[in-house]
């Protein structure tokens, strides 16, 4: 699978012993509507779990729920409640009232939980991303890793410019499919000490992660909790992190922070990395990893019990 398929999309069916169906497409989603109905007719499920967005899927499943009498669980991603553009508003905001028809709402972080209407919080559960099966490496490289989705919320040009301005020794390795913003790739592909890997398999990516000196975790979205953030924690890597409320709530004092688009902020963070007591940061990130792993294990057990209770009713 590609990294475009979210980590939660991969593990949630495993945890809950469910079948996974990926029904991709574009508006007006007519083929996806037909395929969704077909899947439910074939399987006659007691419970359906949906990844949100998009909003029309929630509307469709709300209708089908009353026809086929299944329980509905929705995993609400940030973009369903917080919008970056008119497309997000159009495809999601009109459908948020249908959340009240869900039997269980799963959210990713405490900030998103706070955005839910109060009457829905009794049916909501917070579940962080669980640990991935990471590759252990005895040899650490000298490079800094930037896991990039190449989406608009990542200030990639800012990061590349700040990295070049910092003039540090460690190379910057940028992963992900750069075709989404190919003009940036062409602009910086010959820049010194910047390496673009292109798309990587899951194993290739985890190998590079395991050897990285540090990981840059970046977004301009205030309510987004990135997979790269969890990966950095579970791999016990020093993280250089966008200073958003959501990410600061996760990393606390274990990370080096910078403010996206603030001139010199990332340069300062990169230079701080060179001068920092690496062993001290690693100790703090290790303690955070153990704390978050225990918390996630509790959340997953609670989620499994709630789902079992729903299907037994």
Higher pLDDT among residues 54 and 307, named by residue: 307
Whether residue 89 lies inside any domain: the answer is: yes
The reply to whether 148 and 285 lie within a common domain is yes
Range of the domain at 238: 144-290
Reported as a pLDDT band with limits 50, 70 and 90, residue 4 is low
Using CA atoms, how far residue 42 sits from 31, 68, 239, 268, in Å, is 16, 12, 46, 57
DSSP 8-state assignment for residue 149: -
Share of the chain above pLDDT 70, in %: 97
The reply to whether 234 and 111 lie within a common domain is no
Query: Tokens 């963070």 identify what position?
Result: 269
The reply to whether 109 and 182 lie within a common domain is no
pTM of structure: 0.87
The CATH number assigned to the domain holding 44 equals: 3.40.50.2000
> 43-81 pLDDT, tens per residue?
999 999 998 888 999 999 999 999 999 999 999 988 899
The reply to whether 216 and 270 lie within a common domain is yes
The reply to whether 161 and 283 lie within a common domain is yes
pLDDT at 2: 34
pLDDT at 94: 94
The reply to whether 44 and 11 lie within a common domain is yes
The reply to whether 36 and 99 lie within a common domain is yes
Whether residue 108 lies inside any domain: the answer is: yes
pLDDT at 137: 65
> 196-236 pLDDT, tens per residue?
999 998 889 999 999 999 999 999 999 988 889 999 999 99
The reply to whether 275 and 153 lie within a common domain is yes
Residue 122 predicted with pLDDT over 80: yes
Identify the CA nearest to 259 among candidates 155, 137, 118: 155
Burial 146-183 (b: 16+ CB within 10 A, else e): bbbbbeebbbbebbbbbbbebebebbbbbbbbbeebee
């Amino acid at each position: 699978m590609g990294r475009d398929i979210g980590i939660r999309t991969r593990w949630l069916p495993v945890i809950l012993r469910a079948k996974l169906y990926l029904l991709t497409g574009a508006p007006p989603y007519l083929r996806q509507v037909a395929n969704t109905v077909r899947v439910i007719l074939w399987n006659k499920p007691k419970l359906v779990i949906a990844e949100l967005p998009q909003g029309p899927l929630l509307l469709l499943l709300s209708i089908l729920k009353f026809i086929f009498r299944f329980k509905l669980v929705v995993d609400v991603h940030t973009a369903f409640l917080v919008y970056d553009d008119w497309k997000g508003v159009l495809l999601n905001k009109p459908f948020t009232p249908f959340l009240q028809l869900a039997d269980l709402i799963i959210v990713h972080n405490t900030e998103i939980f706070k955005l839910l209407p109060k009457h829905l919080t009794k049916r909501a559960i917070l579940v962080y991303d669980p640990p991935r099966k990471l590759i252990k490496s005895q040899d650490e490289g000298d490079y800094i890793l930037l896991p990039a989705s190449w989406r608009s919320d990542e200030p990639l040009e800012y990061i590349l410019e700040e990295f070049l301005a910092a003039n540090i020794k460690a190379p910057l390795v940028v992963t992900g499919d750069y075709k989404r913003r190919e003009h940036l790739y062409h602009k910086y592909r010959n820049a010194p000490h910047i390496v673009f890997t292109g798309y990587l398999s899951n194993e290739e990516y985890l190998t590079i992660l395991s050897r990285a000196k540090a990981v840059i975790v970046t977004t301009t979205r205030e309510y987004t909790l990135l997979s790269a953030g969890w990966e950095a924690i579970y791999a016990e890597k020093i993280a250089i992190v966008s200073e958003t409320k959501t990410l600061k709530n996760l990393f606390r004092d274990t990370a080096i922070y910078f403010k996206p688009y603030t001139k010199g902020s990332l340069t300062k963070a990169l230079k701080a990395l060179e001068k920092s007591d690496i062993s001290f940061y690693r100790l703090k990130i290790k303690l955070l990893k153990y704390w978050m792993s225990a918390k996630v294990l509790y959340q997953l057990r609670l989620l499994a019990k709630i789902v079992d209770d729903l299907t037994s009713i």
